[in-house]
Amino acid sequence: MRVECVDVDSSVIGRKVLSLYEFDPNADFPAFECSYRHEYDPVYVSCKIPLENIAEVHALERHGFNLIECQIRSTKLLRKPYEVARYNFDFLEVTSETELTNVLDIAATTFTHDRFSVDHELGTAISGKRYQEYVRKSFRSPNEAVYRLVNRSTGQTVAFKTHLYQGNNEVLCLQGGVRVEKVNLGLGVVNDYFEQNELIRKGIKRITTHISASNLPIFNLEIGDLGFRVIGTFAVLRKIYGQTR
């Protein structure tokens, strides 16, 4: 077993946040927990377990971890671009701090199904700040990118996407969101069309994404309409030590 510090989450909360990997239900977890608490003094530790490993889920629960999210991993091969000529939008890479500010405004309020916003111990304020910081990270990272969907008539940024270039012509889709007042107008699927077309233009052959199973609109969009195929399901559990706010 091992833990890693999650820098963005730690910065937002103000205390160490850790991810637990390679959980072993047969190991002496109390001793391991004592060790990482002594080294990091974390406020929040999370662990992602494949749902088929239910015994590991139960073991973490016995050690005080609680289920906070069921996560779905899905993938899609990119072949034919979508016809987007009828849409009055441009999909543009964010290249300046001014453009980034428009995206950050959306990131602060668009996420409502993630494990931070649904957690009564954390709340939506932390969730919004957290996603803003992840967008900033994508803007700064050489192997990540931030794109915005812009209304050609008004110049308004109405949606955004971020993704990670993984090599071998593959991309991991990270965040994406629509301006709150424009939710339920169909911009989510348009945003996906433009993103996939841009990735095809760049020579990307496969994309992978992770979503919360509770986010039914996105689940139905990706699996039902966009042709993604589920390749993994995970239980995400977390344990909180002390006060987070």
Q: For the residues of 30-88, what is the DSSP string, one character each? A: HHHHHHHHHHH--SEEEEEEETT-HHHHHHHHHTT-EEEEEEEEEEEE--SPP--TTS-
Mark whether 207 and 142 lie in a shared domain.
yes
- CA atoms of 89 and 70, how far apart (whole Å): 34
- CA atoms of 144 and 142, how far apart (whole Å): 6
pLDDT at 184: 79
pLDDT at 183: 82
Mark whether 117 and 156 lie in a shared domain.
yes
Residues ≥6 apart with Cβ < 8 Å to 52 = 233
pLDDT at 122: 80
Mark whether 212 and 170 lie in a shared domain.
yes
pLDDT at 126: 83
Q: Using one digit for the tens of pLDDT, what is the confidence trace for 132-187?
A: 999 999 999 999 999 999 999 999 999 999 999 999 999 999 999 999 888 878 89
Tell me the residue range of the domain where 25 lies.
2-70+235-240
pLDDT, tens digit only, all 245 positions of the chain: 999 999 999 999 999 999 999 999 999 999 999 999 999 999 999 999 999 999 999 999 999 999 999 999 999 999 999 999 999 999 999 999 999 999 999 999 888 778 888 888 886 668 889 999 999 999 999 999 999 999 999 999 999 999 999 999 999 999 999 998 888 788 999 999 999 999 999 999 999 999 998 888 888 888 878 889 999 999 999 999 987 65
Q: What is the pTM of this model?
A: 0.91
pLDDT at 228: 93
For residue 21, give the H/E element and its range. Answer: strand 17-21
Mark whether 94 and 145 lie in a shared domain.
yes
Mark whether 104 and 185 lie in a shared domain.
yes
User: Both tokens of residue 187?
Assistant: 């911009």
Mark whether 27 and 133 lie in a shared domain.
no
Mark whether 45 and 113 lie in a shared domain.
no
| Residue 245 domain-assigned (yes or no) | no
pLDDT at 124: 64
**CA-based nearest residue to 78, from 173, 8, 158:** 173
Residues ≥6 apart with Cβ < 8 Å to 73 = 208, 209, 210, 230, 231, 232, 233, 234
- CA atoms of 104 and 146, how far apart (whole Å): 11
Contact between 163 and 174 (Cβ < 8 Å): yes
